Structure 1
Amino acid sequence: MMKKAFKYLIIGTISILFFVYIFLPFASNYIGWYGYSKWKYRIGTDSIQESKNRHVFVKHLNYKIIDSAGFKNFRFIPYLEKGFKFGKHSSEETQIIQNSLYPYNICYERNLKDSIVLRFTEDSVKKLDSSDVAWGYSKTPYLKDTLTMIIEGPRQPTGLIKIW
């Protein structure tokens, strides 16, 4: 009787461990990836190195920081890359966007330690071919006009960045 109870205890423990350590992480990843359909949406990189690793980097953009709003060691490097999406089964895959009106992303690398927001001015949004909250999109592999971004800090005045 004790052997039978011990046997069920061992089988139950192994089943629970399998469920917790094997099945739940797999199910979570599956639902997180396929549930959100991450491969369907255009994305951009956060660094020039990642852009180069994905083979989407086009070129560095010129810029001038007019005022960094008093932030120490503020770093900002704008660049242009080809628009892309993740592959269907992996975020490591890169699917370059084909047949798009706006095949290029205007991206920037910056230090993420500062608690700031960077956004295009209303005038710059009008100059862009297309944009969303954080990124600009271009029809051409160059900028047609100078763009301005606003640096907003939590308790500090704003600064400006000119990009061309």
Structure 2
Amino acid sequence: MSLTEETISSEPVYDGTLLHVRRDEVRLPDGATSVREWIKHPGASAVVAIDGEGRVVLVRQFRYPPRREFLEVPAGKFDRDGESPLDVAQRELEEETGLTAAAWTALGRTFPGIGYSSETIHLFLAESLSEGERGGDDDEFLEVVRLPFDEAVRRAESGEILDAKTSLALLLAAARRRDT
């Protein structure tokens, strides 16, 4: 039995700078109809960057919707036409931390809000780091934090790191490093 829902109609509810809210009427697998409200998102990339001393480079920043600070891996959304997930990861690592990396490994991707958003986050491991030029957005305030990689993984496993993309990225990076 197919579980696919077919779009009957779609209308914009809100078109913002980042988010575009849609309301779709869909035909369910049993033939009935329903409404799906969802957010169209451009997608993003996130980076687990590990320096030569075995520390992971995180950023601490305030996130407005939950009204608190979080430790996160450097990450950002697709901003330009034709950008690849790796392009975004490389740009965001340098903008947020001032670092570049010579070695990149794709860790996979995740859909953080499957019930309400099309957002996909591509996850990468970055190693062989060098100093680059820190940039960033004018409205983005963050602090670069370096933690021993094993400690950051422990914090993800214990639930101390609350950002889902960061926890998943750290756990995938730890598994990748164990396998090599």
Q: TM-score, normalised by structure 2?
A: 0.26
Structure number, greater radius of gyration = 1
More helix by share: 1
More strand by share: 2
Q: TM-score, normalised by structure 1?
A: 0.28
